[in-house]
Amino acid sequence: MKNLWRDTEASKHKDILAERVYSSRLLGANPALVLHGGGNTSVKGSSKNIFGVEEATLFVKGSGSDLATIEAKDFVAVRLDAMLKLSRLEKLPDIDMARELKLASLDPGAPAPSVEAILHALIPHRFVDHTHADAIVTITNTASGEARIRELFGDEVIVLPYVMPGFDLAKLCAEVFPAQATPRTIGMVLMNHGIFSFGDTAKQSYDRMIELVGRAEDYLNKNAPLAAAADIPSAADWSALPGLRKKVSAAAGFPMLLRSNSSRAALAFARHPNIADISQSGPATPDHIIRTKRLPMLGRDVEVYARAYKDYFDQNSKAAKTPLTMLDPAPRVIIDPEFGLIAAGRSARDTQIIEDIYLRTKDIILRGEMLGGYKALGEADLFGMEYWDLEQAKLKKSGAPKAFAGEVVLVTGAASGIGKACVQAFLSRGAAVVGVDINPAVESLYGDRADYMGIAADLTSTDAVKGLLEQTIRQYGGFDMLVLNAGIFPGGKKINALADDEWRKVMSINLDSNLTIMREAHPLLKAAPKYGRVVVIGSKNVPAPGPGAAAYSASKAALTQLARVAALEWGEDAIRINLVHPNAVFDTGIWTPEVLLQRATHYGMTVDEYKRNNVLHEEVSSKDVAELTAEMCGVLFSKITGAQIPIDGGNDRVI
């Protein structure tokens, strides 16, 4: 395991909190140590209170931050003596512990301290690092895991049996640590959970983490080496995936996204001869239980999975002291011999996290098998973690999801103007967005975020359309909404001068390509978990054409008619299709300041007068059109199809 510590870099960090941030980020930079918010760190120091008195203080990672990107403000200052006092209590339910941790915080506005804060306080060293390192989790999730850990680390680490994170774990540590710690102790392994390292300096604690986990990695490479997966052909029929997404969403009770991974390694795992056994033995760490749910679904029978999940809940919840709220019974991980691994989540980010976790879990399982058998926690412990009272409290507190959470929209012509504004309008409503454009800039328009995929494609090619729909299915499982915006507006030309080629080009892009997309997208829209929606960006030229735009006006009029027929034909599939007719939207690429000035002068107006030349004297922006478009996919328009809405500030020829 690579040690990322650099003295020149470290020396720039002058105080203990800055050093704490530096080495925490080094841990966070390695996904084999820390993945998506797992792990936590702390440092002990002091702080002066308002009375001028120095108080011993624990600076511990607050909830909601990630070690990879953590900053000083993400560490919560808590009174060390309060932590130690809490650890001496006989009993403390985790809900009460969470409240006490908040109360011990020196800043009422700070995030909640990590639930492992008391544990950090109990370890007498100044710097404490904690990770759920894959190598440690792998070894401790085997039948002879404890013996292997002792063989590997001897008296350098203390070993704690599995206890749920929270007060009970802190309590156990309070008993074991003072009894077993020796001057040789540099770490503590928590079975089925992770590892702690500690030291007097940030470097010492970090070095020890790398040293201990590195030793575990070497052990695995020697005793349980992972072979590279062979090339396996997949006969996946991607068109079946939107149907699976619909079933998963029905089981969940809300729309879900599916993200597939059909890499060699994923397919090899899905076709492992013992997959039915090894995949059903449980998640590798408490973290994973909460993120990926209890067990993956094998194959595609969602109803059977959901029934089994309800039975599991009913059986285990009987023992609970307080009534529990059941989580939705939809799977989060689906293992399929043709699709490979499929992650199901409420957002694109969730599906990415679940996929990342499971790709690591599969290696932990495979290596565990080589070490004599992967053995996760028992069902009671798994259930206890999944239905932890802190998680239940979170469930009750979570607010209403965004309007399009779990849904996907495909926007054409997304690289600029109205299309680009539509991407933003849908992202802000929680949808995952596929932006398509002939301009390759569309691919990098929003950087690297899970809820956006840009595809450069020529929509006049049927193959390209089929290809981008398959890409959408692989990434998100299907889609729910389609915004047909792509189109061209060639320079004004009277009919007398309109060449056949130009006419055909405009028709091909503005009309024909939309027929292709609509036809190919129909099965996907039909399989949308709630209902399919299409919004067509028409033009004021449909109700009120102008001279010099014959091809454009005719193409948009024909597109309008196509959409009206679709509204009639697709109603029985619960797909609604509506149109907007914008006019004079000037914040797009074609309207340079020069062109604007030229047109305004032509009509004897100032640019501002020209922009507001409508009944309401309002300027219409791309954002206005995009917001209306997004709303037309929302509940407000749930009983409307085939409607045409002008968005033009009022036009006397349209009214």
Task: Just list the catalytic residues.
Answer: 552
Closer to Zn ion at the Cβ: 74 or 624? 74
- Return the residue nearest Zn ion (CB atom): 194
> Which residue, 544, 651, 565, is CA-closest to 552?
544
Closer of 194 and 487 to Zn ion (Cβ): 194
Strand, helix or coil for residue 452: strand
Count helices and strands in the chain by DSSP H and E runs: 25, 18
AA letter at 319: A
Q: Locate 397 and state its tokens.
A: 């507190």
How far are the Cα atoms of 35, 123, 207, 595 from residue 211, in angstroms, in the given order?
Answer: 19, 19, 6, 66
Nearest residue (CB) to Zn ion, 194 versus 340: 194
The DSSP code for 6 is -
DSSP state of 589: T
- The answer to whether 441 touches 464, Cβ cutoff 8 Å, is no
Residue with token string 């950087």? 447
Sign of the dihedral defined by the CA atoms of residues 23, 134, 138, 374, in that order: positive
**Residues 64 to 103 in contact with Zn ion, rule: CB under 5 A:** none
Of the two residues 194 and 282, which places its CB atom closer to Zn ion in the complex?
194
Return the number of the residue (241 or 390) whose C-beta is nearest Zn ion: 390
Partners of 56 in the β-ladder: 46
Question: Nearest approach, Cβ of 81 to Zn ion (angstroms)?
Answer: 24
Interstrand relation of 452-456 and 432-437 (parallel, antiparallel or unpaired): parallel
Distance, CA of 479 to CA of 436 (rounded, Å) = 14
The interface with Zn ion within residues 194-253 (CB under 5 A) comprises: 194
Strand 75-79 versus strand 54-61 pairing type: antiparallel
Q: Write each residue from 158 to 197 as x if it is in contact with Zn ion (CB under 5 A), else as -, in one continuous string.
A: ------------------------------------x---
> Which alpha helices (H) appear in 193-258, and where do they start and end?
202-223, 241-252
Provide the residue type at 466 as one letter.
K
For Zn ion, the closer CB: 24 or 629: 24
Shortest gap between Cβ of 322 and Zn ion (angstroms)?
24
Least spacing, CB of residue 128 vs Zn ion, in Å: 12
For residue 267, give Cα distances in angstroms to 112, 244, 288, 296, 334. 40, 18, 21, 15, 12
Binding site for Zn ion (CB under 5 A): 194
